[in-house]
């Protein structure tokens, strides 16, 4: 695939081998300005700000994914196929559906179950199990231990629906309850497409999320709390990027 692409006006040399992907373009800018040394803006198509700088001497990029699987599907496809990026680490937020996972905890998605049809494009005669890169997960777990974070590793749900339409349904049909029974830790909206693209193009991906919503107890982080939970996740993500470079 040639560059520039329809959504990224840059060159391969503009990106580090690891790209951190928050959903929100403003968060990408915040990360670049607060966590990277000498950040340079490398993409701004559609306001999807991408920066490359250094952290502990390692070149690291950060670019927003937008919300949902079609959006992260586009950006990860282009980063992997046109810009030579090896590792994409989604750094997002998620809604926990297990009672023992609390607000501000970190969830690391070893697997990403999904209600999306993203895999259909690959013409597989069965269901593919989207999983993260073991190398990235191992580095992220080691980093979470160093930081002293409370973290959970397991399966998440990447859903196409933020709102859903479960109100008034019999309990047996409640979407979150049924995924909870299968051990799903939390719900977000991007990882399955990212993991599927990484598998198809022989690249590496991992999603780590801060729990911003506890959907069982209907608890939600305040804006300030979101920020502190986010700082811990950033330390884990950046230390993981350093480990991957070695």
Contact 67, 224 (CB under 8 A): no
- Separation of alpha carbons 28 and 10, rounded Å: 16
- Identify which range of 45-53, 54-62, 183-191, 224-232 contacts ligand HPA by CB under 6 A: 183-191
Whether 213 is catalytic: yes
Joined together, the tokens standing for residue 189 give 């909206």
**Measured distance CA(181)–CA(37) in Å, rounded:** 44
Least distance from C-beta 32 to ligand HPA, angstroms? 22
Question: Looking only at Cα atoms, what is the longest distance across the chain?
Answer: 55
Interaction between residue 162 and ligand HPA (CB under 6 A): yes
**Residue 39 sits in the site that holds ligand HPA (CB under 6 A):** no
Q: Is 188 in the site for ligand HPA (CB under 6 A)?
A: yes
Q: Residue 45 and residue 140: Cα distance in Å, rounded?
A: 30
What is the contact mask toward ligand HPA in residues 131 to 160, using x (rule: CB under 6 A)? Answer: ----------------------------x-
| Residue among 100, 166, 174, 213 flagged as catalytic | 213
- Interface with ligand HPA (CB under 6 A), residue from 19, 103, 187, 236: 187
Q: Which of 85, 94, 103, 149 binds ligand HPA (CB under 6 A)?
A: 94
105 scored as a contact of ligand HPA (CB under 6 A): no
Residue 189 binds ligand HPA (CB under 6 A): yes
**CA triple 2-51-83, angle to 5 deg:** 20
Q: Is residue 183 left, alpha or beta, with left meaning phi > 0 and alpha meaning psi from -120 to 50?
A: left
The residues, ordered by sequence, that sit 6+ positions from 72 with a Cβ below 8 Å of its Cβ are: 21, 65, 66, 90, 190, 193, 194
86: contact with ligand HPA by CB under 6 A: no
Q: Taking CB under 6 A as the rule, does residue 65 contact ligand HPA?
A: no
Q: Please identify every residue annotated as catalytic.
A: 213
Binding site for ligand HPA (CB under 6 A): 93-95, 159, 162, 187-189, 212-213, 215
């Amino acid at each position: 695939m040639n560059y520039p692409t329809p959504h990224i006006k840059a060159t391969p040399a503009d990106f580090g081998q690891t790209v951190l992907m928050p959903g929100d373009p403003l968060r990408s800018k915040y990360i670049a300005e607060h966590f990277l040394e000498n950040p340079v803006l490398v993409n701004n198509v559609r306001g999807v700000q991408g920066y490359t700088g250094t952290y502990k001497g390692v070149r690291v990029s950060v670019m927003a994914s937008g919300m949902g699987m079609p959006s992260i599907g586009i950006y990860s496809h282009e980063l992997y196929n046109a810009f030579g990026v090896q590792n994409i680490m989604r750094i997002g937020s998620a809604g926990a559906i297990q009672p023992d996972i609390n607000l501000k905890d970190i969830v690391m998605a070893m697997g990403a179950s999904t209600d999306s049809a993203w895999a259909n494009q690959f013409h597989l005669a069965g269901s593919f199990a989207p999983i993260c890169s073991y190398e990235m997960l191992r580095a992220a777990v080691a980093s979470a231990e160093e930081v002293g974070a409370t973290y959970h590793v397991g399966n998440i749900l990447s859903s196409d629906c933020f709102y859903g339409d479960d109100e008034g349904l019999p309990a047996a049909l409640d979407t979150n309850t049924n995924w909870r029974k299968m051990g799903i830790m939390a719900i977000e909206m991007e990882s399955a497409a990212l993991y599927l693209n990484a598998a198809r193009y022989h690249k590496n991906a991992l999603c780590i999320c801060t729990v911003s919503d506890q959907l069982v107890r209907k608890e939600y982080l305040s804006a300030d709390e979101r920020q502190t939970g986010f700082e811990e996740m950033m330390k884990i993500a950046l230390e993981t990027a350093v480990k991957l470079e070695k």
